[in-house]
A = this chain, B = another copy of it.
Amino acid sequence: MKKKYTIADVADLAGVSKTTVSNVINNIENKFTEETKIKVLKAIEKLDFNINIGAKSLSEGKSYLIGVILPIYKDTDILQENFFLQEFLSGINRYLSTIKNKYDIIFTGVNENKFNIKNWIRKRAIDGVICFGLTSNYIYEYLEQLKIPTVIVDDLRDATNGFSRVYIADKKGGYLATKYLIENGHKDIAFINTGINLSKVEKNRFNGYIEALSEYNLNFYESNCFELKYLHYDSGVYIADKIKDLIGKQFTAAFVTSDIIAIGLINRLQELEIKIPNDFSVVGFDNISLSKYIYPKLTTIDQNIYKKGQSAAEELIKIIEYDDIKKNIEMDVSLVIRESVKNVKE
Contact = CB atoms under 8 A, between A and B. Distances in A.
A40 B53 CA distance: 30
Interface in A110-155: 112, 116, 119-120, 122-125, 145, 147
A4 B270 CA distance: 59
Contacts of A2: 145
Interface string A50-63: 11111101100001
A230 interface: no
Contact of A294 (B77, B123, B295): B295
Interface stretch (A79-87, A197-205, A319-327): A79-87
The 3 A-B pairs with the shortest beta carbon distances in the complex, nearest first, are A86-B86, A50-B122, A79-B90
A28 interface: no
A297 to B, nearest CB: 8
A11 B55 CA distance: 24
A52 B83 CA distance: 35
B267 A52 contact: no
Contacts of A293: 233, 263-264, 267, 290, 294
Contact of A125 (B52, B63, B93, B101): B52
Interface in A230-274: 233, 263-264, 266-267, 270-271
A85 B77 CA distance: 14
Interface of A: 1-2, 4, 50-55, 57-58, 63, 77-83, 85-87, 89-91, 93-94, 97, 101, 104-109, 112, 116, 119-120, 122-125, 145, 147, 233, 263-264, 266-267, 270-271, 289-290, 293-295, 306
A119 B4 CA distance: 12
A270 B116 CA distance: 49
A53 B120 CA distance: 10
Contact of A52 (B93, B120, B123, B290): B123
Contacts of A266: 295
A77 B105 contact: no
Copy total for this chain = 2
A46 B76 CA distance: 35
Given A50-B122, A77-B94, A79-B90, 13 more contacts: A50-B123, A54-B124, A55-B58, A78-B93, A80-B86, A80-B306, A82-B86, A93-B109, A97-B112, A101-B116, A263-B293, A267-B295, A295-B295
A125 B90 contact: no
Given A81-B289, A93-B77, A106-B105, A54 B50 contact: no
Contacts of A52: 58, 123, 125
Nearest to A100: B116
Given A77-B306, A86-B80, A124 B53 contact: yes
A117 to B, nearest CB: 10
A126 to B, nearest CB: 10
A258 to B, nearest CB: 14
Contacts of A264: 293
Nearest to A84: B86
Nearest to A271: B295
B294 A270 contact: no
Contact of A86 (B79, B108, B109): B79
A264 B124 CA distance: 43
A208 B168 CA distance: 49
